[in-house]
Structure 1
């Protein structure tokens, strides 16, 4: 027996794989790769990187001082404009401690940070103008991002320096998210506390916006000046690129962002390489990388440790996202490591413009809330399809290792609850054609979770070569044409191994599991049908059928 330690000191016991049947080739080369998936891996997208002249401009030539006190906003921006005017090149931020306000990138310029360059953005909110921005795919009032670019081509940020967004100065934080020592230091730093003593605010304007539940959206008749009384609440994304082409971000450390960290929107040919992206675990909206309505993207060899989703695919929210109609597509994500985060690789929930032709491989997720995460809900619309994932390691996942959910931020019905099924419309989201191969997870609450909608099931999902240690095995609800082959499930003493509700056309081939479970399969709902278990040693005496489900829903083929 092999002990496996999970979060919160929860211990379970997992049998080593050699003690179970059908284990000889579980972790070997997959014999179950869908032909479409296999063909697609041999035809990966092409990403074009920018090229720059060798001319170098030093920001010190424009009066910048790396003393940690001087505000260098004017000097850095003048250097960038001068490089752009000359036809482009490198703008050098040398070793030193450089304070700055917002920086605007320009075409054909590579902003390069020396190894010991520390660029920190000021906590003086007056240095940031209120601008028209984007929040969850919708037009909104935001403070100007610390680094931004719009309608640019051939741009880069490179080097081994550090960029710090001073995010703690912007964000409110709940008492429960901090240790006693951290909370005392927050109180000592200034700011205000809510009447119940549970929330710290950095300023009066942030406190006012939160307590009055003020919207940041630019609805009809709203002007930017109307948000001045809650200006501090309008946290910016740290690096905001809009409608840019040929972008390279390489080598730098990006940390402590006020909101999202790296956010390309409607960009093409983006390379994110060898980045370290770090935010506190209490940083709400502290996403690492959010790729929104972009195409031809490469994210490789990055390390992320953040307070929200780590690597996330988006394409706009609800009606605005559908009107934009720009999918995120042709994306390669490989050799990345994620520590804390609400998901390692995430699609959604703002996916109304669609997401397709995305390839994820050779990544490791450690301590994330969820591992592979797909999330959406009614009203979004959009199609997520042709997603290819392989060779993923996970350790100590808090909730689900592999997760598909179409009830994001909404309450799903219970198994026996009579519900009115809405018609399929343009607002109905779809998730289909997802291929996941060779996933090893040591510690999760649930191994595989799939939950679609009655009117639009999650469908055409192909999972193979899974080796999952989790409290629970597999839960599938409102799904169609799901195939799981070569899956070793080391679960706690929690029945059942496989829970199925209102799903059909499911195939389970070569499941490996602990024999101590009293119930292996539970089927719920009269519309559950065509459930095939092959080569898995599942007997009829370890099945349960509830809420109208019948025994003829399952077919056994234990060869």
Structure 2
């Protein structure tokens, strides 16, 4: 009777846990996050009626903003930018306004930097001094940029610095001849002396107590603006428009709710400094679909503030759906981090393609960030010509991640210790990468609960799992050149490798570290490995079970 009661209690406990998990899982693939879409009146306000001239000479800042102000004041509607070349300074959006950029209209933001006053903004998770963004809006409701036209941020040769190694000889000579300043070592070009001076001062853009904006004026050119910045807005729509050549990040939504991007195009040069396509930061209810991003930095990027400042804000990015998107040449195709101190959760990514990106799926953080990233669901991803890792989880972003083998004094986790857990990734095909998979956690905070399933990964090297816990690789085909070992496990526990397919390997698996444990290899043909598993740095054969 006692055994029966014990068994019943266990069953009840498992069922309760499963029910609790179902109740706490807010979304699933059958119940995806949704974003409310703004609705506008049909009243149309043509910028020409407010004095705008498409002659490529006239500065239309006042005319465009006057049309926007009038539209909003009269209850909203459509502000029409017709076909033509429209030179303008910063555009400030207002509530209930749909800024419609007509097909073949080119909105060219002026190269005259005096038109962009210094403002208090936010960049890379910190309150920062910036030049006013070409397009901005704060605390708005019902706002949109639509239409098939082009908005050009004029970043190349005006705002951004660039390294000599990122240009051809002819391009470098032409750039130097245009003006600007070449660094003392001759390896970098800066658009002005003010930029060069700002580049030498640490944290020069951070807003300091007791200082006014005028105190930063001598470094003005260094504070490159993000092209489109929407802060604290509700019901945002970007549709059909091309945003290109941004001075810094291209699209930045900050603390917004109900954000929709559809059929959006971002075109930044591959060498555009900090040329992220879109950064969704501390936002809730987001849909990005059917869009194409060609970026100089990260492509589709999720953020939520940086370090203590981000933790104090405490606003995660949550309830996000990304589908049917293409990313070219970016540093990462889909990215979370590294500024993720406010956390991220309930993120769904499906049916996306990454071509020529540095990394495919990129999840990055570092000690000091803090923040919890959890409940990330990804499926149906195609990649080609990935320069680094096809899939990367890394807690050593911008730092040197040395081996932790033999470490005796593991730090205690604090609020500044980041966490990655509960990632579900399936149906991934990658044709060409340096490494198939890298998972690299911290000794005080391993990366947990990562489920990778149904993949074909062609890469130079295979899989590395370092400081990881409860990692599952199921039905993974690895076609690699370097196979000694094909799979490397270091200081990791509860590793389940099932259905690993490969043609041949010098060594299928290697386990290192006395803190490794419970590694299981099943449904895998070990006969294609020329050498038996090896165990180093305190690892032993008891850590591996082969079924």
Q: Per the shorter chain, which TM-score range?
A: over 0.9
Shift of 1:325: 0.4
For residues 276 and 459 of structure 1, what CA distance do their matches in structure 2 show? 35
Do the aligned residues in 2 keep the contact of 1:135 with 1:217 (CA within 8 Å)? no
Structure 2 residue aligned with 1:78: 66
Task: Please identify, of 73-82 and 412-421, the stretch whose mean Cα deviation from structure 2 is larger.
Answer: 412-421
Superposed, which structure 2 residues align to 1:189-200 within 5 Å? 189-200=178-189
Do the aligned residues in 2 keep the contact of 1:415 with 1:547 (CA within 8 Å)? no
Structure 2 residue aligned with 1:349: 338
Structure 2 residue aligned with 1:58: 46
Say yes or no: does 1:68 pair with 2:56. Answer: yes
Do the aligned residues in 1 keep the contact of 2:483 with 2:506 (CA within 8 Å)? no
Q: Indicate how the Cα distance of structure 1 residues 528 and 174 shifts in structure 2: closer, same or farther if over 3 A, else same.
A: same
Gaps of at least 5 residues in structure 2 are 1-20
Say yes or no: does 1:243 pair with 2:232. Answer: yes
Shift of 1:494: 3.6
Shift of 1:409: 1.3
Structure 2 residue aligned with 1:544: 534
Shift of 1:280: 1.0
Which of the numbers 143, 156, 159 marks the counterpart of 1:170? 159
Query: RCO (CA 8 Å, sep 6+): is it higher in 1 or 2?
Result: 1
Shift of 1:307: 0.6
Report the count of equivalent residues: 523
Structure 1 residue aligned with 2:4: none
Do the aligned residues in 2 keep the contact of 1:465 with 1:486 (CA within 8 Å)? yes
Do the aligned residues in 2 keep the contact of 1:103 with 1:146 (CA within 8 Å)? yes
Shift of 1:420: 3.3
Task: Please identify, of 336-345 and 222-231, the stretch whose mean Cα deviation from structure 2 is larger.
Answer: 222-231
TM-score (norm 2): 0.94
For residues 485 and 416 of structure 1, what CA distance do their matches in structure 2 show? 27
Deviations 1:447-467, CA, capped at 9 Å, x for gaps: 111001111100001110010
Superposed, which structure 2 residues align to 1:436-475 within 5 Å? 436-475=425-464
Structure 2 residue aligned with 1:389: 378
Superposed, which structure 2 residues align to 1:255-294 within 5 Å? 255-294=244-283
Q: Match of 1:533, SS?
A: strand
Which of the numbers 90, 96, 110 marks the counterpart of 2:78? 90
Shift of 1:258: 0.6
Shift of 1:415: 4.9
Shift of 1:226: 1.0
Do the aligned residues in 1 keep the contact of 2:108 with 2:154 (CA within 8 Å)? yes
TM-score (norm 1): 0.92
Do the aligned residues in 1 keep the contact of 2:406 with 2:537 (CA within 8 Å)? no
Deviations 1:350-399, CA, capped at 9 Å, x for gaps: 00000000000000000000000100011111100000000000000000
Structure 2 residue aligned with 1:99: 87
For residues 90 and 459 of structure 2, what CA distance do their matches in structure 1 show? 46
Task: Please identify, of 127-136 and 392-401, the stretch whose mean Cα deviation from structure 2 is larger.
Answer: 127-136
Say yes or no: does 1:125 pair with 2:108. Answer: no
Task: Please identify, of 292-301 and 183-192, the stretch whose mean Cα deviation from structure 2 is larger.
Answer: 183-192
Say yes or no: does 1:509 pair with 2:509. Answer: no
Q: Match of 1:71, SS?
A: coil
Do the aligned residues in 1 keep the contact of 2:234 with 2:257 (CA within 8 Å)? yes
For residues 532 and 429 of structure 2, what CA distance do their matches in structure 1 show? 27
Shift of 1:419: 5.7
Structure 2 residue aligned with 1:188: 177
Structure 1 residue aligned with 2:242: 253
Q: Match of 2:309, SS?
A: helix
Structure 1 residue aligned with 2:415: 426
Do the aligned residues in 2 keep the contact of 1:64 with 1:76 (CA within 8 Å)? yes
Shift of 1:37: 8.5
Shift of 1:493: 3.3
Task: Please identify, of 98-107 and 407-416, the stretch whose mean Cα deviation from structure 2 is larger.
Answer: 407-416
For residues 419 and 225 of structure 1, what CA distance do their matches in structure 2 show? 51
Shift of 1:213: 4.2
Which of the numbers 104, 117, 139 marks the counterpart of 1:116? 104
Do the aligned residues in 1 keep the contact of 2:27 with 2:33 (CA within 8 Å)? no
Superposed, which structure 2 residues align to 1:285-324 within 5 Å? 285-324=274-313
Which of the numbers 522, 528, 538 marks the counterpart of 2:510? 522
Gaps of at least 5 residues in structure 1 are 1-33
Q: Match of 2:539, SS?
A: coil
Deviations 1:43-66, CA, capped at 9 Å, x for gaps: 111211000000001000011011
Shift of 1:411: 1.6
